[in-house]
């Protein structure tokens, strides 16, 4: 898996997602004066200053394009030439979409979006070129081989430490740990869900660094995440997060002598965690709400910062569940369809939860995430088990 042709298909999927997300709801008005007004709007916005959240969202949107596209090119030409070509393609795609958005109701043609999308494409292309299992640096080669666990860890860091702005304000540090001091009892549900989350993270770390040093990197990762939540603006700790980390390490140590059993326990706990997160607080109404069949409609109409965090969280949840099921011995497509089925069923149940939006989006996300995993390959390192789309 992970051959150039597979990355080419993954690139096409990424482009389709970008186009869909950028032009929804496709309410176009006539081009009465041609393309000139759109070009003028793009040029006049060239000096606009983007918001930090918009900047991050636009970069993240195009990074997968650069990553997949440069891997789709294989070893054609030199690395620098491939990066330049892919970046130019990102400029062309983003520029075309910005011009089309001028005629799309509810959308805005904005030059900073073009800059940010270009930067995202460039960063993704550089990352795809560097994080290659065939590079000569053993550490990078190993990380690149475990590309799916790395992506999932990046997602959990992305949504747990958003908005990534550290501070030296001691008052903020106290505010971050005050909930733990004032309410040290984590509660059974918080203890369970954070334990499951940390165990899933531990399994991802082990897939990257190997069984031997996994416990050390696991502990360091936990410490770094907790310290990050203290230092990052707008984030706080709670007792469940800390207690769950301790419980996760304890379970990891107790089941260390049976790795096969441990991964099955983690997969089971994580599956229950995903279901519980979607149905919590379990206060069902008698009359159901509507079910939305338009994919990603909630993402298109929500707050951008919340949407970014929600996407990263869902990517971690659904991608990790698929990956964990595969690690226990499930066939890849069986894991994908099972995850999508669980999400569809819980989405239907969300119709009875007040304040929730029941959509097809989550089940479709699982299918897309799983398909991309199939295309890019779960593991390239021959020392690890290969999982293919059988």
The one-digit pLDDT tens for each residue of the chain (390 residues) are: 458 888 899 999 999 999 998 888 888 888 777 889 999 999 999 888 877 788 888 898 899 999 999 989 887 777 889 999 999 999 999 999 999 999 988 888 999 999 999 999 999 999 888 776 565 666 666 666 788 999 999 999 988 988 888 888 888 899 999 989 888 888 889 999 999 999 999 999 999 888 777 888 999 999 999 999 999 988 899 999 999 999 999 998 888 888 899 999 999 999 999 999 999 888 899 899 999 998 888 777 666 677 888 889 999 999 999 999 999 999 999 999 999 999 999 999 999 999 888 999 999 999 999 999 998 876 544 334 433 333
Strands of the chain, DSSP E = 291-292, 358-359
- The CA distance from 106 to 21, in Å, is 13
What confidence score (pLDDT) does residue 386 get? Answer: 38
CB 290 within 8 A of CB 354: no
Look at residues 223, 353, 329 and name the one whose alpha carbon lies nearest to residue 277.
Answer: 353
Residue 233 φ then ψ, to 5°: -60, 135
* Cα–Cα distance for residue pair 156/265, rounded to 1 Å: 20
Give the per-residue pLDDT at 281.
86
Q: Which of 57, 13, 42, 18 shows the shortest CA–CA distance to 302?
A: 57
Helix (H, G, I), strand (E, B) or coil at 102: coil
Structure tokens at 364: 């479709």
Q: Which residues fall within 8 angstroms of residue 235, CB to CB, at 6 or more apart?
A: 160, 161, 162, 176, 228, 229
> Phi/psi at 38 (nearest 5 deg)?
-65, -40
Q: Can you give the pLDDT at residue 11?
A: 93
As a whole number of angstroms, the distance between CA 50 and CA 231 comes to 25
The answer to whether 351 and 289 have CB atoms below 8 angstroms apart is: yes
Q: Is 147 exposed, middle or buried (0-12, 13-18, 19+ CB in 10 A)?
A: buried
């Amino acid at each position: 898996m992970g051959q150039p042709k597979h990355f080419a298909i993954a690139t096409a999927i990424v482009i389709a997602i970008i186009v869909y997300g950028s032009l929804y709801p496709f309410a176009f008005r006539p081009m009465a004066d041609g393309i000139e007004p759109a070009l003028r709007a793009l040029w006049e916005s060239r000096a606009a200053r983007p918001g930090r959240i918009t900047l991050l969202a636009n970069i993240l949107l195009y990074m997968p394009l650069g990553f997949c596209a440069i891997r789709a090119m294989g070893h054609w030409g030199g690395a620098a030439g491939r990066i330049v070509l892919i970046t130019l393609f990102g400029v062309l795609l983003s520029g075309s979409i910005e011009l089309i958005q001028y005629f799309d109701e509810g959308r805005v043609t904005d030059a900073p979006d073009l800059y940010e999308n270009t930067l995202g494409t460039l960063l993704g292309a550089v990352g795809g070129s560097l994080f290659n299992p065939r590079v000569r640096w053993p550490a990078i080669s190993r990380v690149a081989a475990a590309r799916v666990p790395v992506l999932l860890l990046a997602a959990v860091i992305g949504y747990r430490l958003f908005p990534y702005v550290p501070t030296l304000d001691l008052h903020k540090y106290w505010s971050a740990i005050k909930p733990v001091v004032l309410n040290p009892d984590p509660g059974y549900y918080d203890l369970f869900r954070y334990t499951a989350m940390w165990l899933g993270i531990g399994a991802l770390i082990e897939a990257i660094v190997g069984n031997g040093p996994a416990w050390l990197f696991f502990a360091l990762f936990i410490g770094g995440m907790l310290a990050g939540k203290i230092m990052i603006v707008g984030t706080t700790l709670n007792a469940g997060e800390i207690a769950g980390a301790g419980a996760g390490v304890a379970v990891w140590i107790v089941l260390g002598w049976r790795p096969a059993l441990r991964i099955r326990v983690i997969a089971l706990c994580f599956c229950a965690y995903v279901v519980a997160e979607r149905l919590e607080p379990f206060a069902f109404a008698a009359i159901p709400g509507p079910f939305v069949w338009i994919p990603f409609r909630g993402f298109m109409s929500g707050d951008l910062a919340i949407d970014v965090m929600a996407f990263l969280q869902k990517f971690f949840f659904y991608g990790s569940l698929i990956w964990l099921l595969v690690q226990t011995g499930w066939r890849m497509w069986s894991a994908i369809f099972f995850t999508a089925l669980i999400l569809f069923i819980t989405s239907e149940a969300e119709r009875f939860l007040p304040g929730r939006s029941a959509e097809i989006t989550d089940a479709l996300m699982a299918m897309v995430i799983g398909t991309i995993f199939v295309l890019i390959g779960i593991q390239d390192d021959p020392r690890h088990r290969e999982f293919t789309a059988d």
